Structure 1
Amino acid sequence: MIHIINQTIRNHQVDSDRVYLTGVSRGGHGTSGLAKKYPEKFSAIVPIAGALSCKSNCEGMADLPMWIFHNDCDPVVDYEYPQTAVTYLELNWKDHLSKNRNWI
């Protein structure tokens, strides 16, 4: 996927400072996975109903604006995934996040 994004930026008139990533369900999981691996590539992410996991390798995501959507009654993807990730980010980068206010 990152290859496709890089190729699109390279071959088309794309402002590389304005690349946003979103996805629903499995795409929401992919959104967070790509953002964890390449946080510098995106201006912001919006994972929707995805299994966002932040038990490790989330350091770069503290500077990445996020808007995370998930229904607590989702019968497929457990609400605990995004809730745990947000709690982890808040606890580990509390001072940093309060200064930057760049995610919800």
Structure 2
Amino acid sequence: MISFPNVSNKKYRLIIALHWAGGGDTYKTFFECLALPGLDDEETIIVSPEGQNQLWNTGNNINKVKNLVGNAIKYWNVDANKIAVTGYSNGGNGSWYFAEHYPELFSAAIPMASSYPINKKLNTPLYVIHGGKDELFSVTKTSEWVEKTKEAGSNIRYIIIEERSHFQGCSYVPELKKAQKWLQNLWKEE
């Protein structure tokens, strides 16, 4: 799914939004209930690819995301310095993965409700959002990995929403809007 701004007289920003696990119309539900209402603005293209019921770090999905970014820069007047990746659950883990392995493609990442084992410095700034009552990805474990990578020198803002469970993905819109403001400020500083 793709959302284009109505009008812009300058280069667009791009956000690749990676859906949670599941096949069928999962990517549409994710896009319509979380990505679009949380990230929509007048200068940003939002693309939510379909992951074919696979993890985002599989060869097929890595190539899909890389090709989306490359083609967006080539054909849609996207500013190559203002590209972010976000996602929820499986997509959140994918966001961590792309931040770690493809910092040349993404200037920021916003993983949500995810758990990614990392303890080294990442060059991509992150805004990490996690539910305090997440049943699938322990907030304790996620907090531990966030702290380790912060101690290694990563630029991370970490938000815990105490009352949220893992299965309330669509309710993360207010937090994603705050992350969108963080992202816009980050891009102004560049």
Q: What TM-score does the superposition give when structure 2 sets the normalisation length?
A: 0.44
- Pick the aligned partner of 2:117 from 43, 53, 58: 53
Is 1:86 aligned to 2:139, yes or no? no
- Describe the superposition over 1:37-84 as per-residue Cα deviations: whole angstroms up to 9, x where unpaired: 1012112111000122214xx43x1x3221100012101222234212
- Structure 1, gaps ≥5 residues long: none
Give runs of aligned pairs for residues 59-78 of structure 1, distance below 5 A: 59=121, 61=122, 63-78=123-138
Is 1:39 the counterpart of 2:92? The answer is: no
Q: Aligned residues: percent identity?
A: 25
**CA–CA separation in structure 1 for the residues paired with 2:140 and 2:67:** 31
Higher helix share: 1
SS in 2 for 1:72: strand
Q: Quick one: distance in 2 between partners of 1:64 and 1:21?
A: 10
CA–CA separation in structure 2 for the residues paired with 1:17 and 1:92: 24
CA pair 91-103 structure 1, distance change in 2 beyond 3 A:
closer
Aligned counterparts of 1:81 and 1:14: Cα–Cα separation in 2: 36
CA contact (8 A) 2:98 2:106 kept: no
Work out the number of aligned pairs and report it. Answer: 93
Calculate the aligned-residue CA RMSD, in Å. 1.8
Given that residues 54 and 84 in structure 1 are in contact (C-alpha distance below 8 angstroms), is that contact kept between their aligned partners in structure 2?
no
The 2-side partners of 1:82 and 1:30 are apart by: 14
Residue 156 of structure 2 aligns with which residue?
103
Q: Is the CA contact 2:100–2:124 (under 8 Å) kept in the aligned structure 1?
A: no
Q: Which has the larger radius of gyration?
A: 2
Normalising by structure 1, report the TM-score: 0.76
Structure 2 unaligned blocks of 5 or more: 1-64, 158-190
Structure 1 residues 79, 24: closer, same or farther in 2, change over 3 A? same
Distance 1:82 1:40, change over 3 A: farther
Letter in 2 for 1:65: P
CA distance in 2, matches of 1:81, 1:38: 24
